[in-house]
Amino acid sequence: MRRILLKLSGEALAGDKKHGFDEETVRKVAAQIAEVVKSGVQVGVVIGGGNFWRGRTSENMDRTKADQIGMLATVMNCIYVSEMCRAEGLQTAVFTPFACGSFTKLFSKDEAVSCMKEGGVAFFAGGTGHPYFSTDTGVLLRAIEVEADVILLAKSIDGVYDDDPAKNPAAKKYDEVSIDEVIAKNLQVVDMTASILARDNHMPMWVFGLNEENSIVNTMNGNFHGTKVTV
């Protein structure tokens, strides 16, 4: 595999704290990213913002403003994980679709690809830069733009199920499922806009649990216990 885009959920970075950052969890993630990069694979990273913000907290809040807060949450997450990766000896760059002063760089496909080719990790923060589009859409957009071979979706659950396993103990886990079935059954691997982008641009996704020990490295080494979404 030449180039991957790793999507981390914000909630997973919070660990058992459920909010903010759990430093030990993030340190382990950074160490795994470093191992993958040192194996010769080019890595881009997108991180959700759910450890800080999930949609509107009040019906009195404008949706556009709520989404802007969520975008900024992803910027904080990317800067933090980027610094943890630097502590592992990696070079990093954080790209956003809008200006953040000197905190980040404006997204450029050429600069992002150059960063990854040179052994650095490119972080893509801020989603698409527009309200009404989730981080899911952002990760598909960036993966397509930088020509990733696959998206690795590291979540708080260990794969794709036919029902919510937290509510239904009998929910069936898929080892492999097509993107057409994901869309037809609304399996919510990613949101519908992102699912259609994946289908139309033939972008496969591998879904697995971030909390499994060494899960990112294991996935890259073929020891995969999640769900492959085929296209």
CA distance 135 to 167: 24
Residue 9 CB-density burial (10 A; 0-12 exposed, 13-18 middle, 19+ buried): buried
CA distance 153 to 33: 14
Which tokens in the block code for residue 147? 């020509």
* Most distant pair of Cα atoms in the chain: their distance: 50
pLDDT score recorded for residue 188 = 86
pLDDT score recorded for residue 123 = 98
Which tokens in the block code for residue 139? 């990760």
pLDDT digits (tens, 9 = 90+) for 16-31: 777 888 899 899 999 9
| Band of pLDDT at residue 210, cut at 50, 70 and 90 | confident
pLDDT score recorded for residue 189 = 93
DSSP code for 4: E
Answer yes or no: is pLDDT of 59 > 90. Answer: no
Tell me whether strands 121-124 and 42-47 are parallel, antiparallel or unpaired: parallel
pLDDT digits (tens, 9 = 90+) for 86-141: 999 999 999 999 999 999 999 999 999 999 999 999 999 999 999 999 999 999 99
**Long-range pairs for 58-62 at CB < 8 Å and ≥24 separation?**
none
Answer yes or no: is pLDDT of 57 > 70. Answer: no
Q: Between the ranges 58-62, 114-118, 162-166, where is the mean pLDDT highest?
A: 114-118
